[in-house]
Amino acid sequence: MSAPVKPRERFGAGDGFNRKLIAPLVSGAILNPINSTIVSVALVSIGVAFGAPPSQTAWLISALYLATAVGQPVVGRLIDIYGPRRLFLPATALVGVAGVIGALAPNLAVLIVARVILGFGTCAGYPAAMRLIRDEGRRTGKDSPAGVLTILAIATQTIAVIGPPLGGLLIGLGGWQATLAINIPIAIVAFVLGRLRFPRDERAPGKLNLDFPGMALFATTLVALLLFLMNPHAGSWYLLVITALAAAGFTVHELRHPRPFIDLRVLGGNIPLLLTYGRALLAYIVSYSFIYGFTQWLEDGRGLSASTTGLVTLPMFATGIVVSAITGRRQGLRGKLVVAAVAQLVACVLLLTLVPTSPLWTIVGIVLIFGIPQGLNSLALQNAVYRQANPDDVGTSAGLLRTFGYLGAIVSSAAQGGFYGQRADTGGLHHLAWFLVIASVVFLLVNVLDRTLARSTHPERHPEMTEQLDPARTALLVMDYQAGIVSRVADDQALLDRVGTAISDVRAHGGHVGWVRVGFDDAEFDAIPSTSVFARMVAPESRAVMHADAPATQIDERLSPQPQDVSVRKIRVGAFTTTDLDTQLRERDVDTLVLAGISTSGVVLSTVREAMDRDYRILVLDDASADPEPGTHEFLTGTIFPKFATVLDVDALAKLWA
């Protein structure tokens, strides 16, 4: 029997993205969109079969998105911890099970249950894809794989194209049951591809280290909120109370938990990512209202058949594919989102002009216009999360993006149920259109006013860093990795693992390692003036902790300084100030510094500026540095540091040695 293949070897040789991963990535990512679009033309048929009005069949939409809204970030978190393969395979199998239950459903209630199971089953596809893309980006050194992200976006657009006409065809051949049964072969294909081509996950920790109370409180908050949005009236006031109490409990718990399900401190500091989630909510309110509400009107209000409705909506998705293909490799986000917002607003205004006798060319024209935001929004939002999210939490962040998208879908479903009533008539469409116009205006304003979209928030590589490093003249400075500071980092073990990898890499190539820590002796405490940023550290109540001999000021015990290493103790922010670091480095003939430190806005920033003035060549390890404010970290590593230094990650450093 052959020896097991290591995870990295399974990715394939060479520096490019492993093409064998594309098929399973796409097969998993499309599971949700195909079930979103294919049911859009089946709602009327299902309503007729079970004698249910649109307000009841809307639960088929809400059930799937309720399950996925709760499940996506949970599964995304599990993927970040245990790996994509371990979650992808059982989730895809669950999709097949849901297809069987749905095809045999004897009533609307069972069909809704099948859609819930389907929602949970589709939770792993997108976070697994984003996790693998991020891992491949690290392996290849290409941190912005625009081509692969574009393929993913085009694939979901393509399946959206196929969905409505395929749904109409399946209904004609086998009734609405066929729109559920189609999940069986699709799930089998995705499962087989994932089993054969996904790299095996590294061994997971023996003990489940998960924040189960945090997950439960998150789910309670979201379920209560979404149930209220599905049926908002005075009698549902208790759901808002449950939402508020659960949200408060979730916030308190997450802020206190050492390894929270969703690190609210990190998320709260990442304003660009929060804005991206907000615009996703607005974009999907409009998108799903158009996909579901407009298609129902085409059948009920305009009198088209299900198959004709599918063909009429085809140009919208086809336009989306073309737009995605043309703009996919462009790095800019703001231009895409502003153009998408304008087109979206125009299409929603035109919905107000429709009447039962409107000619098909008018309807097709509106569909074509709406194809522009279909192609731009999903691509731009996907790229925004990839750039803005913490690399180690990309699965969770991708799941949250989908959660906000599904929240938009739920709001859309509630709006349709409220505006349409018993049937999707023209009056209901016009009321829905006014609601969408308001949402589109807000979406446009958010994109126009958000200045963070004008630049990439992901660190760019320094264009001049083409030559290899001479290990004998290179030193890695590990700064403020001391017990009292490392313990404050949200995911300290992951950060220590990365800096440990960098240390091992430098030692293996014969480079130098330097250790920088902050601590004070008795005389130095009194020498710090009250105007210093360190004034609080040297206050009488803090002196026991910040003393040079205190455990909190020693290098974290999980790291291993060696006797031959450079070592300094400082009493100011920068590594050079108040130390003989420069002298020790010059004695070793070092002219190149690789910096890793806590925090990015403290010791790393100060040392970059000081090292620049001392004429060192500087490299900053963005994934081996951390800051209490992730947005600040991203701004410094993406905008400020590249002016003076090369910004790269630990994996990329390994490729630079001579």
Q: Are 290 and 435 in contact (CB under 8 A)?
A: no
> Does position 356 have pLDDT exceeding 50, yes or no?
yes
Token pair 């299900």 is at which residue?
Answer: 306
Pairing of strands 592-597, 566-570: unpaired
> At 453, is the pLDDT very low, low, confident or very high (cuts 50, 70, 90)?
low
Q: Exposed (0-12), middle (13-18) or buried (19+): which is 553, by Cβ within 10 Å? A: buried
Q: Give the pLDDT confidence of 364-386 residue by residue, as tens digits.
A: 899 899 888 887 887 788 778 77
Q: How would DSSP label each residue in 298-338?
A: HHHTS---HHHHHHHHHHHHHHHHHHHHHHTT---SHHHHH
CA angle 339, 282, 79 (to 5 degrees): 105
What are 393-409's pLDDT values in tens digits? 666 777 778 778 777 87
Tokens of 618: 């500087």
> Average of pLDDT values for 17-45?
77
- CB count in 10 Å sphere of residue 455: 17
* 3-class DSSP state of 626: strand
Q: Does residue 274 register a pLDDT over 80?
A: yes
Residue 220's pLDDT is 87
pLDDT at 263: 67
Identify whether the C-beta of residue 329 lies closer than 8 Å to the C-beta of residue 147: yes
Residue range 249-269: mean pLDDT, rounded: 74
The alpha carbons of the chain give a radius of gyration, in whole angstroms, of: 27
Residue 4: its pLDDT value, please? Answer: 34
**pLDDT value of residue 505:** 92
Average pLDDT, stretch 579-586? Answer: 93
Burial of 367 (0-12, 13-18, 19+ CB in 10 A): buried
- Residue 187 has, within 13 A of its CA and on its CB side, a CA count of 24
The average pLDDT across 627-651 equals 82
The mean pLDDT value of the chain amounts to 81
Residue 438: per-residue pLDDT: 93
| pLDDT tens-digit series, residues 147-201 | 676 777 677 766 766 776 777 788 888 888 888 888 899 899 889 988 888 877 6
Average the pLDDT over each of 2-6, 38-42, 427-431, 624-628 and give the range with the smallest value: 2-6
Looking at residue 145, its pLDDT comes to: 57
Q: Give the mean pLDDT of 311-327.
A: 77
Looking at the DSSP bridge assignments, the partners of residue 617 are: 592
608, amino acid identity: V
146-174 and 360-388 are packed helices; what angle lies between their axes, rounded to 10 degrees?
Answer: 140
pLDDT > 70: what percent of the chain?
85
Q: What is the DSSP string of 129-181?
A: HHHHHHHHHHHHT-S--HHHHHHHHHHHHHHHHHHHHHHHHHHHHH-THHHHH
Is a pLDDT exceeding 80 seen at residue 573?
A: yes
> Quick one: pLDDT at residue 14?
41
Residue 648 has pLDDT above 60, yes or no: yes
Answer whether residue 468 shows pLDDT above 60. yes
Provide the pLDDT confidence category of residue 269 given band limits of 50, 70 and 90.
low
pLDDT tens digits along 510-561: 999 999 999 888 888 888 887 777 777 767 777 788 888 889 889 999 998 9
Higher pLDDT, 473 or 382: 473
